Amino acid sequence: MSAVFVSYRRDDTGMVARDVVKELEASLDATVFFDLESVKAGQAFRELIAESLQRCSVVIVLLGKDWYGRSGVGAGARRIDDEDDIFRQEIELALRTSALIIPVLVGDAFTISATELPASLRSLASLQWHRIQLKDKDEAIAKLREVVQEALYNMESARLSGSADALSGMKPYRKLLSLQFGVPHSGAARRADSVPLSSSHAEELVFRMNAALVTGRPLLVIGSASSGREEIARVAAEQLGARYLEHHLSRRSNPRDLLYTFDESRRSADAQVSRQLHRSNEYVEPGIWWWAFDPDSAARRGMDSGELESTAVTRALDPSPTWAGATSQAAYTVVLLSGIDRIPLAELEEHLYPFSTREFTISVAHYTVRAAGRILLVLTAEGVRSLNRELRRRLVIYRMPLPSIDEFVRVGRTYFPDLAPKFIEDVAQKLLDARAEVGARWLVELPEFLDVVRAASELDVEVGGLNWRLLLDSLGLTG
């Protein structure tokens, strides 16, 4: 897991440091080292800081108006000139690592001048800084979080790209799920191309899916809505011949709706007409957890076969697709809950509770539903900001890769082998240039890139020509 180190002088930027750490811990799937929380009583302080800096990918250095530190010993004396100053030592150690160092000017702090620094710190002045103005502190800290988040994404993408051979040639392991993602149309993998991943990213995804299945944890797929994240569950279910169920969450989602719904109004109306109260089961509509746990009893609305045949109650319709092998007796069921970051954390816990307990009771039908087979639960979100650390530790997390130009070109050549490589490269470069122009991190994803290549090729649109901007605007890619 990635780690972020926050370095500061307590009597200079201590309050801001707490706010920065709070924002990072709430938003990042990363360890945040902050001395007030990370160093316990009795621990060797300096040794722990040195070890932590070696493990960190990003170091944030907070610099206020008095970051040099007044020593109180003689006029003009500064603590930063003291070799034993702990803040100076933190920066020195950070500069010796390969971590990304982000100087952050707080309030009215002056820009860094190399001539005013000890020799060991002068390279700090050459680094691009970020500023947090106190009048719009929250917004500035949020922007800092985005900078850190993008840096961690890029580092992770580079790590995976750099270890592609290692991932593709990883030691064999017992795969409960053998799946393909990111391959063009062919046979059973006909939908796999809707999740455009390189072989290394696909291999990592399959490994994490297997880990989620054997541990009984949900798989959280993080990425933008256009990254192909929703297709992962569908592709997996179709390739496995598994039953597939999906539910798209919103702020109005009710956790009970995933279990069942009960039409009390219709029951009351029927009772007024017939002068008798009908069985509750007639008005129960199974939710996706019921269909996932026990599809046969869901179809019978909680009644046994004999009861169902002796009444006028109709069987409920199974919402799972009917592709090959997707019967009620299928070995696996794949459940997709998309957009978990759209609902409050407390409600999310309620939505996931049946999955963790593997049973629930339909009170109006006096029936207890228990999970009978293996269930792969796939969650999707744009980020982990709304999830606390405790919940994140109960998930298996996969991040859709941040596309680079190399990734665009590699995938483009795979999908369009008949197109000139130069054409694909030009499209990729122009799209990344457009992303940089508007400053949007997620302006273009791989599925959108493939749409642009296809459209530009078939409509004979010159890359960067008169119709290029119109094409991007038509596809919603201009900001």
* Unique residue bearing structure tokens 């290549």: 453
User: Looking at residues 180-196, what average pLDDT do you find?
Assistant: 55
Helix (H, G, I), strand (E, B) or coil at 361: strand
pLDDT per position as a tens digit, 206-265: 888 888 988 889 999 988 776 778 888 988 888 888 889 999 998 888 999 999 998 888
Contacts with 141 (C-beta within 8 Å, 6 or more apart), sequence order:
16, 19, 20, 23, 132
Q: CA-based Rg of the chain, rounded to a whole angstrom?
A: 28
pLDDT of residue 39: 62
pLDDT of residue 391: 77
Q: Which long-range contacts (CB under 8 A, 24 or more apart) does 123-126 make?
A: 123/95, 124/61, 124/91, 124/95
Q: How far apart are CA 320 and CA 31, in angstroms?
A: 39
pLDDT of residue 252: 86
CB 379 within 8 A of CB 340: yes
Model confidence at 166, in pLDDT bands (50, 70, 90)? very low
With a cut of 80, say whether residue 97 has pLDDT above it. Answer: yes
pLDDT per position as a tens digit, 409-457: 888 888 899 999 999 999 988 887 765 554 444 456 777 888 999 999 9
DSSP 82-113: STT-HHHHHHHHHHTSSSEEEEEEETTPPPP-
pLDDT of residue 302: 85
The pTM of the full predicted model, rounded to 2 decimals, is 0.64
pLDDT of residue 298: 92
Q: How far apart are CA 449 and CA 423, in angstroms?
A: 13
Higher pLDDT, 89 or 275: 89
pLDDT per position as a tens digit, 104-142: 999 988 888 888 899 999 999 988 899 999 899 999 998
CB 371 within 8 A of CB 414: no
